[in-house]
Structure 1
């Protein structure tokens, strides 16, 4: 009986300890959704830590190290108010940086410039500060995606996207969501990135809207195009598939990045 009491007591203490630990905010975490980089563009990998107080963490007392799983050397290291890049992996030379001015507020995020397909992988952010120390992992996925441009010739509507990776699927629908027949052509360059050209097989009608959807495992673009006698008016909206399989997508409007293209985040 005494042994049973000890076992039960131990289990209760363990459960309470796990519950208390799980309720604590980690010293280092990654805010927001996982990152999807667009080939050739910049991407930010989020890393935040708990400073002693609002803006109270002295930058010269904070050390930040970013590493990439499977690669030797560091992606970026900051210590004693300066970048320490003696052991930086050559792949990231002149492409990685943090923002020392944001360290007092607990922001140790990494900016990775001119993203390449081979940059995809698991990154680790380690922070040491007077208020504590800790590590968090951040997964970067890399795709190539670009908005569609439309051309209208004798009521034949063609859409073209210059850059997609991985190879996407293409579909069309009318203003009521009914599927339409279309041709699809893919041209890949030496880097394996695809140019997509697709044309509706039926003649379009003026003042109707036709939607072209291009999608792969990482990115989906939705491009409604309204056809008039004066031409085509269209915009492209992007969503990123950041959730594990079988998990629902949640779309949040972010901001227009350039004329005719809008980016949304799951």
Structure 2
């Protein structure tokens, strides 16, 4: 009895995922195990011209027909060819390497297999304190050099998603990578710890950055109240000064602006605010205002 079997070229049913700059292996094996030393193994990208990514023929590599961007970045595992391993190693992966690769063995009844390579780029987000809004702090998170486009969200210390201050800002560079920026306005809490999370489901990638904000960064209610009073006083003085100017111009009233009650009120408020900020011990929020007298 003569037993016959067909040698198959097997790859990977699942896409292979790699990040820019990584080395990746595209699997290709002969089953049942048959030596590939004397076979011709062609790795191709059908969508490219030329389509040759790596060619092994006559027991050696042949780079004459290789697509230029792959030069110096492809190799086979020569010591494992005897065991039927014809996998391709691709180094220093680039975004343009993404696509479908075919491992083709023509002498084995034209057997071949196709492997999908997905390439992504990712970076860890950076958090900064952008400003103060009332008695809350405005945080900014940025992640640059990302592909595919990431999803950015804010969370509290318990993992609960926080509403962003608005839609994320997105831009792309020449290589097609994304830069995403998001803002959130946070109140003072028991722990003041917040997290910016960046996710890229297509490449199964997630990065996050956590920040703790000291209590001193949050304005106190007194500071917020004094600031409100000061702003109101400034508006009132400005309106009063405008009215006085018109009266003086018409000759109906002559008075020195330095002695106007509004200026004395503003000077008094400024003195109180400065004293209040100094005695509070908070160097982060010492407000200083300069009154220019004419």
- Report the TM-score range of the alignment, normalised by the length of the smaller protein: 0.5 to 0.7
Q: CA deviation at 1:47?
A: 1.5
Q: C-alpha distance in 1, partners of 2:211/2:174?
A: 34
Unaligned runs of 5+ in 1: 1-23, 230-266
Which range is displaced more, 87-96 or 181-190?
181-190
Shift of the 159–109 alpha-carbon distance from structure 1 to 2, 3 Å rule, reads farther
Q: C-alpha distance in 2, partners of 1:25/1:197?
A: 55
Q: C-alpha distance in 1, partners of 2:143/2:30?
A: 40
1:197 aligns with 2:181: yes
Which range is displaced more, 80-89 or 209-218?
209-218
Shift of the 102–146 alpha-carbon distance from structure 1 to 2, 3 Å rule, reads farther
Q: C-alpha distance in 1, partners of 2:206/2:165?
A: 17
CA contact (8 A) 1:161 1:196 kept: yes
Q: CA deviation at 1:208?
A: 3.5
Q: After TM superposition, what 4+ stretches of structure 1 lie above 6 angstroms from structure 2?
A: none
Q: C-alpha distance in 1, partners of 2:28/2:46?
A: 16
1:208 aligns with 2:190: no
1:43 aligns with 2:15: no
CA contact (8 A) 2:199 2:206 kept: yes
TM-score by length of 1: 0.62
Q: C-alpha distance in 2, partners of 1:80/1:170?
A: 52
Q: C-alpha distance in 2, partners of 1:207/1:107?
A: 54
SS at match of 2:52: coil
Structure with the largest fraction of strand: 1
TM-score by length of 2: 0.56
Unaligned runs of 5+ in 2: 132-136, 215-294
Partner of 1:163: 145
Q: CA deviation at 1:43?
A: 2.5
Shift of the 81–45 alpha-carbon distance from structure 1 to 2, 3 Å rule, reads same
Q: C-alpha distance in 2, partners of 1:51/1:109?
A: 15
CA contact (8 A) 2:200 2:206 kept: yes
Q: CA deviation at 1:51?
A: 5.1
Find the structure with the greater CA-based Rg: 2
1:145 aligns with 2:145: no
Cα deviations by residue, 1:87-138 (Å, 9 ceiling, x for unpaired): 11223211222211222333222122233333222110023689x8721011
CA contact (8 A) 1:38 1:142 kept: yes
Structure with the largest fraction of helix: 2
Which range is displaced more, 86-95 or 192-201?
192-201
Shift of the 218–176 alpha-carbon distance from structure 1 to 2, 3 Å rule, reads closer
Q: C-alpha distance in 2, partners of 1:68/1:113?
A: 16
Q: How many residues align?
A: 202
Q: C-alpha distance in 2, partners of 1:182/1:102?
A: 56
Shift of the 213–182 alpha-carbon distance from structure 1 to 2, 3 Å rule, reads farther
Shift of the 204–97 alpha-carbon distance from structure 1 to 2, 3 Å rule, reads farther
